[in-house]
Structure 1
Amino acid sequence: MSEKHDNAESVKQKEEYKLMSSWTGISSGHNVPDHGWRIALSHKFSEKRSPWMSPKISQMPALVGLAFRYVRFHRRLKRINRRPCMDFFDQQPLRQIYGVPAGGIGGGCFNRGWRGEFCRWQLRPGIYEFETTSANQFIVCVRRNGETVYQNVLSPNSCPQKGLKSWKWNFPANKAFYHALYPRAWTVYEIPHLGLILTCRQISPVIPHEYQDSSIPAVIFSWHIENTSYHNFQVTIVLAMENGIGTKAARSAKGNYNEELKTDKNCTGVTMHNTHFDKMPYTMTLAGKEANARKVTKCLSFDPTSDGLALWNDLYKDGEFDCADEVSKKTLPGQALGCAVAIQSPVKAKSASDGLDFVLAWDMPVVYFGSKESPSYRRYTRFFGSDGDAGRKIAIYALENYAKWEEQIEIWQNPILSNADLPSWYKSALFNELYYVTDGGTIWLESSKPDGGSKRKSSSSVTEEYLRNSSIIQEYGRFAYLEGQEYRMFNTYDVHFYASIALAHLWPNLELSLQYDIAASILQSDATRFHFLMDGDRGVVKTPGVVPHDVGDPEDEPWKRVNAYFVHDTASWKDLNPKFVLQVFRDYYITKNKEFLTDMWPVCLTVMAMSMKHDTDGDGLIENSGTADQTFDGWSVTGPSAYCGGLWLGALRCVLEAGKVIGRQHEAEKYVETLTLATKSYQDKLWNGEYFNYDSNRRSNHSDSIMADQCAGQWYLLASDIADVLPHEQIVSSLKKVYEFNVLAFADGKRGAVNGMRPSGKVDQSSVQSHEVWCGVTYAVAATMIHKGMVHEGFITAEGMYRSCWEDLGMAFQTPEAILKHNHYRSLAYMRPLSIWGMQYALEHISETSACTEKSD
């Protein structure tokens, strides 16, 4: 980036924060960082987008059959009380409310919105309840000289339509702001007439290269109270919670109850026992820690559907709760139950009180997927037990260790945040897009065989059983996340290709664990016959020897029954097999785990042999079939193509390199000639002197379109320090063409990279996907540019994407798969945008390369 660009960014950031101060009247809260996503609680987004629904008239003929078959499929599932893993009749509306999710990785989570809502619950593995629980609120009570002078819910929202009408709502929205830097968040409230500034810091244990605490299902809310007045106050902060997620269905469960938290660790709180989810009882433990002059009290039970007057008056009377009960009554069906914990602290004039610490920990140790066939145990049970009483232990552990978590988070983040060469928006995008690692329907399980993995086998006899019981899975567990919160498929592999760099860079052993599961699924077969909806053809669900599209639907039995995807028969997709080989070698390059590469070797040879069948003319290059047989599953492609052909060249090159690493050159030799032939054919059939054509079908109206993602295969080679397949000049020329047309010539360069552009400078409208901007693809293209030295262009490309979604459209913490130029989006909260970590990896990679070159010189 140029110095001029850096200065402009700095000025823009200062202007934005100055404007924020004028909105809120607050100069700053306590220890709120300079970088991140900041928004006033009074902010209103001007643009209200809706889910993409209807294609253009010219695109409809290709979709008529799919639409007809989908309607029949949807009705058939509805009759048996099932939902399709992609429900196009129940797309989520854009709720411009979300903030940093709470909790570690894979233990279930919920979102806490930027206006304070507890919302978007994912306690069942991979299943979301898009609900806001009204009773879950922070309340402040301020007393002076023995009298309460102020008491208010710390929410700018109005009183709920049902219940809690005696509580005082409508905190002035222009006197508060929210700041997100995942995995932490800050909310700052000002009470001007009292001279008080309250800062709530939210901390979750998400720590790179850490595989114990990162799995903990807990969140800390630590409050700092600054008193700028000349009066002494007693300030009480309360966290009220409903037992459950507040829905009618959740309240239909009977037998829920609250129990006093008993501990010798100076903690006071409540454990909420809940039976709502079939065969998966869980607890949520809410507690505060007494220290110095702080006093913690509890309200063991209240009715969140009542007017709330009893709780409100109890607090108003003396700033604390009067409760001697140890256990509440158990609920009957339809009854709601809540609790609250209060921390009271003196705050002297012109001073501050720090460390009013709340913990919320949840414990659902045993989980079942939708088919209820067999139980699984969450990762954290290895450290806290699986008998259902871990909530207390987790809560105490979190209170005692969160300072260490923050120190580790800052050690990780500060080198990036303090790098003056990086723009502020990028620092926000990089860390905040990582929310999906927690909030992507993520499940992190213990291995089903805790007594150790299978005995070591030679690479020529690796089996599905051996792969599923590898030492990596035994040590680090099994990991899965959804393609999207609306696209309910675990570990969708064509999309994970983009997102995987975040895991490989930050939690590499989770990436290796996922790869072992994919490798085992490649060997798996399922002869069940299914009518695929795109063309109506009937085929088997899983063909052995090919990469699965996904490892299953959480409403069924993932890993056991793979390929929940129902649109295409992905056994014939041209990108999945090469993507496996590319990811395996990239992961080896990052981890240097030769045992992993050796285990993957026979599986790589298997998928390469299967892909060779797609080379129908013997020129070494695979051909697409004329359908949408790759991750762009609505954009047809015929013959050799820039995207799949480039992936194939990269996979061929990685097989040769892997063979050298593990001493299997003799097995890889046959691919030497294939690579030579394929490279020549790729250039002859697709290179037009400026970029690689979309495909080689001269009879189509889009074969010479400029595809934003045409260099995807080269991205992986560059990330693996391999850059000798296609000429440097051709890759740079292609990327410059993409930058000029797909980025700058589209939406004034402020929307990222549109998938397809015509050489005339018009958007490719040939399909429902060619005119979309895919957020994750944009970040991946930016990463490829950076690898090739086009750092400025890469940042401009990515900036348009981030500012569109987060600042203009209100899509914070729900970055979608796709946005259109105007009006619409598709599939909120999607896996692919994790590819932004490819940009950071590229920056670090070129920095290391430069350092090595200088040292050599």
Structure 2
Amino acid sequence: VLSVERPPTLQGWNWGYCGEYAFYHALYPRAWTVYHLPGQDVTLTCRQVSPVIPHDYQDSSLPVAVFLWDIENKNDYDLEVSIMFTMVNGSGHKDDKSGGHWNEPFHLEKDGDAVSGVLLHHCPAVNPYTLCIAAREKVSHQTAFSPKGTCSALWNDLITDGRLDSPTGSSPPTAKGDKVAAALAVGCTVPAQSHNMLEFCLAWDMPKITFGSREREHIRRYTRYFGARGAASPALSHYALTHYRQWEKSIEEWQRPILQDSSLPSWYKSALFNELYFIVDGGTVWTELPEDADVSGGLRSENGGLPAQPAVIKEYGRFAYLEGQEYRMYNTYDVHFYASFALIMLWPKLALSVQYDIAGSVVQQDPTERLHLMSGRCSPVKTRNVVPHDIGDPDDEPWQRVNAYLIHDTADWKDLNLKFVLQVYRDFHLTQDRQYLQDMWPICQAVMESEMKFDLDGDGLIENSGYADQTYDGWTVTGPSAYCGGLWLASLCVMCKMAILLDNKEMYQLYRSTLDKGSTAFDKLLWNGKYYNYDSSGRDLSNSVMSDQCAGHWFLRASGLGDGEFKAFPQEKIRSALKSVYELNVMSFAGGHMGAVNGMRPEGVPDRSSVQSDEVWIGVVYGLAATMIHEGMLTEGLRTAEGCYRTVWEQLGMAFQTPEAYCEKSIYRSLAYMRPLSIWAMQLALNTFPHFLLFDRVVVVGEELL
């Protein structure tokens, strides 16, 4: 058994593989696990391939994975080699023992290619599905066996001749309390001192889903190509086993320019591709837009709203991913602001689809009063003309009922509206989709008008309200602040740009005059000669150094702005602020080896005034690194981001479950989180900065940048 585990069941199998003889390497969506078998003088390499392919909206939606086994025979004689693939009918959930589950063998021939395997029908009352294990040649199977007990019979069946009994017919439905599994074996001859290969596929067909409320049925995206009857597993497996070579070609063409760029360190290449796991593994749903859906929220285009069914959602579907596997809210927007770089760069149509859904929810309201946990006060679930915190809880009815977040009333948060505006223009800049810009313009105007009320003294700068009213929802901020004030000025800047593009001189003048006033106030109230103070409250800790103080400027740079007429911050002040952050938040924290701490005191100790100020947020650090790269600080940017990668992927052992946060003492919070997808902002910065300027002072020695 190719596992180092020794489980309490299956004792009749040959456990005890030594992990020292194996190693693993990943560049998502592919991975390689190498197993050396010194006793047999054989090396097995399992290559895992998932069709997660940029700009591909068909095969990327498919619920399949392929396992390709390269077998190297180092002996001077031929070998007959068989590999067995076993699978439990279920997901590890308690309903695996609910009874009524059954398996059956299948064989499918199409276009000259044959695929055989076992279908595992999982039949709970809600969201039934079929798993499928399949292969192409010399396939034998065991339709059903109990994973309890020793399972010696299955093992003996395999080792007798390398094949399984292959009974015909279906297994009986399981009794309540029992589990059932299936096995597939494939064999081949491997010539002496040579190689051969075996191919396996796993598919899972759950075409229709309901969320916790059970109110609506949603149809998954892949059913457009394989049907929604729940009988697609054989066809999915056949398609995967006959198309994976093209998938790998596409993946290699996408990744090759980055992997072959010798000026980039290996850790960055690993982080860039492997953080993409969350696009798929973040509780993700990709569904068709129901025929009766009205995305506009009731306010149509002619009245300053949206089309009922925007073309991009009709064509490419609805997309939602969780804030984190432990934070159960879909498309949490203050965090998606950071993570969205992965979508807009790799699957831009899905990024625009998310934006249309958010825009439609802006104009909606839900006056239902509910208690918010931090303030202890009741307020409406959703206020009109403000961006929602999220599009809902998977245990309720996402898209239908938004704002599952209960800690604060986010109608008064200062960052959500601004993050919508900034994403709208960045997305337009990267896609040049004029229809999208026109559709979003009235929504941007509405949320900016809502935001204006936070400028209490008319100086052109919004003010925070003395509680944690932004994405740092445990870190109190009072009055004008570096983070929200910077986002505000950047939003005014992109509103000016959009007004010119849409030939709206009146709105341009409004936003320009507000930007000019606000910039003056921002400098006067927050600039201290080296960096922008955390806030202007005058508290003892108001002059803390916030790692995220240049977030607004980051988005301007990512949108091709930040110079000339469309500039919100003096370049020399941005560079001074970034230098201060690097010296204090990065190099004065944990020896410069753990990224940037959120808050640092000017005397060089972390700001411990809140549960979040002394945390490192990995997604924020990647955004900070991108900002540094945009400003020509490549060495500093890579050093900053490298600390997070080394901490998470190497020291803490959290590969493919990057948390939201960790502290200097290696305490972490919220495993498998959305925000670190912001590493793709670093790639955008590398793509857009002139290459000869970016690398003119970098020397590469081995894997280290000096």
Deviations 1:305-356 (A, max 9, x none): 12111101110111101123221111111111111111100112111112x1
User: Counterpart of 2:134 in structure 1: which amino acid?
Assistant: A
Q: Which residue of 2 aligns with 1:252?
A: 97
Q: Which residue of 2 aligns with 1:337?
A: 180
**TM-aligned CA deviation for residue 266 of structure 1:** 2.0
SS at 1:585 equivalent? helix
Q: Contact conserved, 1:817 with 1:833, CA < 8 A, in 2?
A: yes
Q: Which residue of 1 aligns with 2:551?
A: 712
1:513 maps to 2:353: yes
1:392 maps to 2:264: no
**TM-aligned CA deviation for residue 665 of structure 1:** 2.9
Q: Which residue of 2 aligns with 1:190?
A: 36
Distance 1:615 1:450, change over 3 A: closer
1:376 maps to 2:218: yes
**TM-aligned CA deviation for residue 738 of structure 1:** 0.1
Deviations 1:538-597 (A, max 9, x none): 100100100000000000001111000000000000011111100000000000001001
In the TM superposition, 1:638-717 aligns within 5 A as 638-698=478-538, 700-717=539-556
Distance 1:400 1:453, change over 3 A: farther
Q: Which residue of 1 aligns with 2:338?
A: 498
**TM-aligned CA deviation for residue 725 of structure 1:** 1.6
Which of 408, 411, 415 aligns to 2:250? It is: 408
User: 1: distance between equivalents of 2:390 and 2:293?
Assistant: 28
Q: Contact conserved, 1:450 with 1:474, CA < 8 A, in 2?
A: no
Q: Contact conserved, 2:367 with 2:380, CA < 8 A, in 1?
A: yes
User: 2: distance between equivalents of 1:431 and 1:823?
Assistant: 24
Q: Which residue of 1 aligns with 2:703?
A: none
Distance 1:651 1:848, change over 3 A: farther
Which of 270, 277, 286 aligns to 2:133? It is: 286
1:636 maps to 2:476: yes
Q: Which residue of 1 aligns with 2:410?
A: 570
Which of 77, 91, 95 aligns to 1:231? It is: 77
Q: TM-score by structure 1 length?
A: 0.79
1:157 maps to 2:18: no
Distance 1:741 1:452, change over 3 A: closer
User: Counterpart of 2:27 in structure 1: which amino acid?
Assistant: L
Stretches of structure 1 lacking an aligned partner (at least 5 in a row): 1-152, 852-857
User: 2: distance between equivalents of 1:341 and 1:643?
Assistant: 56
Q: Which residue of 1 aligns with 2:572?
A: 729
Q: Which residue of 1 aligns with 2:108?
A: 263
Q: Contact conserved, 2:275 with 2:677, CA < 8 A, in 1?
A: yes
User: 2: distance between equivalents of 1:624 and 1:814?
Assistant: 33
Identity of aligned residues (%): 54
Please provide the CA RMSD for this pair: 1.6
Distance 1:449 1:777, change over 3 A: same
Q: Contact conserved, 1:460 with 1:602, CA < 8 A, in 2?
A: no
Query: How many equivalent residue pairs?
Result: 686
**TM-aligned CA deviation for residue 653 of structure 1:** 0.6
Q: Which residue of 1 aligns with 2:697?
A: none
User: 1: distance between equivalents of 2:121 and 2:25?
Assistant: 32
In the TM superposition, 1:310-459 aligns within 5 A as 310-354=153-197, 356-449=198-291
User: Counterpart of 2:581 in structure 1: which amino acid?
Assistant: V
User: 1: distance between equivalents of 2:654 and 2:534?
Assistant: 30
Q: Contact conserved, 1:459 with 1:601, CA < 8 A, in 2?
A: no
SS at 2:342 equivalent? helix
**TM-aligned CA deviation for residue 450 of structure 1:** 8.7
Q: Contact conserved, 1:459 with 1:602, CA < 8 A, in 2?
A: no
**TM-aligned CA deviation for residue 449 of structure 1:** 1.9
**TM-aligned CA deviation for residue 668 of structure 1:** 3.2
Q: Which residue of 2 aligns with 1:749?
A: 592
In the TM superposition, 1:535-614 aligns within 5 A as 535-614=375-454
Which of 20, 45, 49 aligns to 1:199? It is: 45
Q: Which residue of 2 aligns with 1:797?
A: 640
User: 2: distance between equivalents of 1:613 and 1:340?
Assistant: 64
User: 1: distance between equivalents of 2:292 and 2:107?
Assistant: 31
Q: Which residue of 2 aligns with 1:771?
A: 614
**TM-aligned CA deviation for residue 462 of structure 1:** 3.9
Q: TM-score by structure 2 length?
A: 0.95
SS at 1:655 equivalent? helix
Q: Which residue of 2 aligns with 1:39?
A: none
**TM-aligned CA deviation for residue 848 of structure 1:** 7.2
User: 2: distance between equivalents of 1:246 and 1:843?
Assistant: 42
Stretches of structure 2 lacking an aligned partner (at least 5 in a row): 695-706
Deviations 1:35-71 (A, max 9, x none): xxxxxxxxxxxxxxxxxxxxxxxxxxxxxxxxxxxxx
SS at 1:582 equivalent? helix
Deviations 1:689-746 (A, max 9, x none): 1000000011x12100000000000000001111122110000000000000000000
Q: Contact conserved, 2:336 with 2:674, CA < 8 A, in 1?
A: yes
User: 2: distance between equivalents of 1:177 and 1:662?
Assistant: 56
User: 1: distance between equivalents of 2:331 and 2:87?
Assistant: 33
User: 2: distance between equivalents of 1:707 and 1:657?
Assistant: 28
Q: Contact conserved, 2:632 with 2:693, CA < 8 A, in 1?
A: no
**TM-aligned CA deviation for residue 849 of structure 1:** 10
User: 2: distance between equivalents of 1:792 and 1:661?
Assistant: 36
1:272 maps to 2:120: yes
Q: Which residue of 2 aligns with 1:106?
A: none
Q: Which residue of 2 aligns with 1:176?
A: 22
Distance 1:513 1:404, change over 3 A: same
User: 1: distance between equivalents of 2:342 and 2:460?
Assistant: 32
In the TM superposition, 1:214-225 aligns within 5 A as 214-225=60-71
Q: Which residue of 2 aligns with 1:844?
A: 687
Deviations 1:739-793 (A, max 9, x none): 0000000000011000001111111011111000001001000000000000000
Q: Contact conserved, 2:652 with 2:666, CA < 8 A, in 1?
A: no
Q: Which residue of 2 aligns with 1:40?
A: none
More RCO (CA 8 Å, sep 6+):
1
SS at 2:107 equivalent? coil
1:213 maps to 2:59: yes
**TM-aligned CA deviation for residue 458 of structure 1:** 8.3
SS at 1:425 equivalent? helix
Deviations 1:618-661 (A, max 9, x none): 00100000100000011100100000000000000111101111
User: 1: distance between equivalents of 2:456 and 2:40?
Assistant: 78
Q: Contact conserved, 2:358 with 2:388, CA < 8 A, in 1?
A: yes
User: 1: distance between equivalents of 2:534 and 2:507?
Assistant: 33
User: Counterpart of 2:274 in structure 1: which amino acid?
Assistant: N
User: 2: distance between equivalents of 1:396 and 1:412?
Assistant: 25
Deviations 1:212-235 (A, max 9, x none): 000000000000100011122100
**TM-aligned CA deviation for residue 258 of structure 1:** 0.6
User: 2: distance between equivalents of 1:259 and 1:739?
Assistant: 60
**TM-aligned CA deviation for residue 669 of structure 1:** 2.3
User: 1: distance between equivalents of 2:108 and 2:614?
Assistant: 59
User: 2: distance between equivalents of 1:729 and 1:453?
Assistant: 44
**TM-aligned CA deviation for residue 459 of structure 1:** 5.2
SS at 2:537 equivalent? coil
Q: Which residue of 1 aligns with 2:650?
A: 807
Q: Which residue of 1 aligns with 2:704?
A: none
Q: Contact conserved, 1:453 with 1:471, CA < 8 A, in 2?
A: no
Q: Contact conserved, 2:107 with 2:114, CA < 8 A, in 1?
A: no
